[in-house]
Structure 1
Amino acid sequence: MKNYIYILALLSLIYCTKESKISSVISSQDSAVINPGDSLSKTNQNLETKNLSKDETLRTLNNEILSTLKSKDFMKFSNYIHPEKGITFSMYAHLDLKEDKHFTKEEFIKFIPTNVKFTWGEKDGTADKLVLPIRDYLQEWVFRKDFMQGEYHLNSFKGSGNSLNNLREIYPTLDFTENYLPGSEEYGEMDWNSLRFVFDKYEGQYYIVAVINDSWTI
């Protein structure tokens, strides 16, 4: 009889121990699935983004775009292209929408990994045509200098030469950024370079519609 009672007590203890372990595992799994800290973090990030002023937003976008160009991550660059208006590239300050190269976002993504060449315009001084694939144009012309080291300007021009700058006439209501690299004393500071991005809003977010290089022209 005593042995029977002892066995019952032992079985009861084992059952309670197993139940406790199972409860502990379930509790651990629940805490892994439901983590209010993750949701709170994402919410805070969204709030921080919404609280940015237009100036701060455009400066952030400007720097992100420069970073994609420097790292040659052109697929990531495509994320900033306007979904409806696409993107226009101008070799110099004077825009000519009939001659400047324009791509939809889909076209840009299609051609960026290929060797298909495009005529981007004529080089100042020689009138030689610049014929390159998109990725080479971005590397050799658009980001030919490290514009991440440049002076940042919003809706104002720092670089000014003898080339007609008609950005405000072509995009009178849009915002633009300029990244300016001053010239050297060796060349009388005439070897300055600027890279500009023109932005337009789509569904509450800013996208680039134009990339414009500028420098001293003859």
Structure 2
Amino acid sequence: MRKLFVILLALTVLACKKAPNRPVKDQKDSVSHTKVEPKDSIPIPVNKEEVLRKTNDELLQALKNKDYKKFAEFIHPEKGVRFSMYAFVDPGGDKHFSKADFEKYSSAKTIFTWGALDGSGDSYKVTINDYLQKWVFSKDFTVSQFSLNEFQKTGNSLNNVKEIYPKNDFTENYIKGTEKYGEMDWKTLRFVFEKFQGKYYLVAVVNDQWTV
């Protein structure tokens, strides 16, 4: 019996020597990792109203902060920007600046004639800086009511924005008048845009209010 046991033990040792050494497979290696290839990028549709509202709000904020360098970034690089004191746009009489001239004079003390004051008919003569602060942004339009290509309020002066800019988009920022003045002290600020090389640029700034 002892002899049989010795023989079996010898055979077992011999078998172990012949068996190839097999490394223990790491548990992480046992899981196959499939590389996920990124899908073809799908262009996200751009909502024009969202883009124009964002641009509108950035312009208002620039005016509020008196950051005219930032404001100038939105001016049309080829057509410049026109400023209309009232709803009636006068291409021949309203003050117009190229982007370069606006940047040049926005911090200068040069006086410009912007138009005639309603009622008195006197010429309104101030610097660009004063015009933007005292006329264009005479109220805090960052808290105004917004609309796109729609007039929320019109006065008794002729509003010809759509006639002068028939193919352009415009935003309107409207501040309701107060009860104290029978809501006659309402004010509106409009920005007219034109698309150029895939981006909307400012071509006109139009103020509106009640006129006599």
TM-score above 0.5, yes or no: yes
Task: Return the TM-score normalized by structure 2.
Answer: 0.79
The equivalent residue for 2:150 is 156
Q: In structure 1, list runs of 5 or more residues that go unmatched.
A: 1-43
Structure 1 Cα separation of the partners of residues 78 and 153 of structure 2: 30
Structure 2 Cα separation of the partners of residues 144 and 76 of structure 1: 19
Matched, 1:195 2:189: yes
Instruction: After superposing the two structures, state which structure 1 stretch, 191-200 or 119-128, moved more.
Output: 119-128
Show the 5 A alignment for 1:1-218: 51-218=45-212
Q: In structure 2, list runs of 5 or more residues that go unmatched.
A: 1-40
* Aligned-residue offset at 1:127: 1.1
* Aligned-residue offset at 1:51: 3.9
Q: Which stretches of structure 1, 4 residues or more, deviate above 2 A after TM superposition?
A: none
Structure 2 Cα separation of the partners of residues 159 and 213 of structure 1: 12
CA RMSD of aligned residues (A): 1.2
Structure 1 Cα separation of the partners of residues 125 and 62 of structure 2: 22
> Between Structure 1 and Structure 2, which shows a larger proportion of helix residues?
1
State the one-letter code of the partner of 1:110. Answer: K
* Aligned-residue offset at 1:76: 0.7
Structure 1 Cα separation of the partners of residues 123 and 153 of structure 2: 24
**Larger Rg computed on CA atoms:** 2
SS in 1 for 2:86: coil
Structure 2 Cα separation of the partners of residues 68 and 52 of structure 1: 24
Structure 2 Cα separation of the partners of residues 147 and 123 of structure 1: 21
Structure 2 Cα separation of the partners of residues 138 and 185 of structure 1: 27
State the one-letter code of the partner of 1:214. Answer: D
Paired residue total: 171
* Aligned-residue offset at 1:159: 1.6
State the one-letter code of the partner of 2:209. Answer: S
